[in-house]
Amino acid sequence: MTDIHGAVRRFLLSLGEVLTAGATTHADAVAVDEFARLASVLRTGSSQAEAAMPGILPVCRFWDEALDRAADGPAVLAGHLRALGPSLRWTQNPNYRHRPPDPAFLENYGYAVIAGPAGDDKPEAARPLVAADALAVGVLLLGPGTYYPAHHHPASEIYCIVSGDAEWRRGDTPWRRQPPGAVVHHAPNLSHATRARAEPLLAVYLWRGDLATCATLLEKDLEEN
Ligand SMILES: [Fe+2]
C-alpha cells in the first residue's frame, strides 16, 4: 500500500526547493516564502491521508508524456508526482463544466488536489489526498495547444511549471513563455490566462487565502474566443 502522506511530504520538500530556485523577482520570493511557511506546517502536521480512490479524466492521456518531458526541467519533482500519480483524483472546475470555453476544452483540461481543505461537502473527486487548512496544492494538466482563457479567483496563487513550454499572461500584459522550473505568481483577483504550445503543460499550483471560491472565467475572454 502506498504511503501517501510520506509521498506528499517528499513531493512538498522537492517543490520547496524548485520554488526557491525559480523565484526571480522580489515579489515572487516573498510569495514563495509565505507558501513555504504554510507547506512546512503541513509537512510536520499530523493530518492523515485518506484512503485513495483515484479518478481519471480524458486529459490524463497526456500524464506520462508530461512527466517524461520533465527530464529537461525539475525532474526530481516529476519523479515525486509519478509516485503520486496512481492515487490522484482528477477533477474539473464546475464553472467550466457548466460552460466550457470551447468544445474541446474539457477533453484537454483537468486538475488533481494533492493537499487542501478536506471539505466533506465536496464531490469525491475534488477531495485532497492529504488534509490541509491554510493551503491548497495540486497539479494542472493541459493538452497540447489548449487555450485556458482569462480567469480570476480571490486566492493568491503560485504556479511551478513541471513540463511544457507554455505561454502565460497576467491581466493585459504581453504573453510570456515560461519554461519548466519557472515560478508564476498571480495576486488575488488578477486575471490570468495560459496557452499550451506543442507539448502538454504540467504545472503545480499552490493557493492560499480564499480556498473555497473556484476560479471564474472572464466573460470578455469567453466572447472573444
Ligand atoms: Fe489561477
Tell me the CA distances in angstroms from 20 to 1, 27, 86, 108, one per residue in order. Answer: 32, 12, 27, 30
Q: How far apart are CA 203 and CA 119, in angstroms?
A: 23
Mean pLDDT of the chain: 87
pLDDT, tens only, 150-179: 999 999 999 999 999 899 999 999 999 999
pLDDT, tens only, 49-93: 454 456 789 999 999 999 999 976 689 999 999 999 999 999 999
CB distance 210 to 155 below 8 Å: yes
CA 192 / ligand 1 centre spacing (Å): 7
> What is the CATH architecture of 4-224?
Sandwich (2.60)
CA 53 / ligand 1 centre spacing (Å): 26
Domain positions in the chain are 4-224
Grid cell 496544492 — which residue? 137
CA 170 / ligand 1 centre spacing (Å): 10
Residues lying with their CB under 5 A of ligand 1, a single-atom ion? 157
CA 155 / ligand 1 centre spacing (Å): 8
What confidence score (pLDDT) does residue 46 get?
A: 46
pTM above the 0.95 mark? Answer: no
Q: Is 180 buried (19+), middle (13-18) or exposed (0-12) by CB count in 10 A?
A: buried
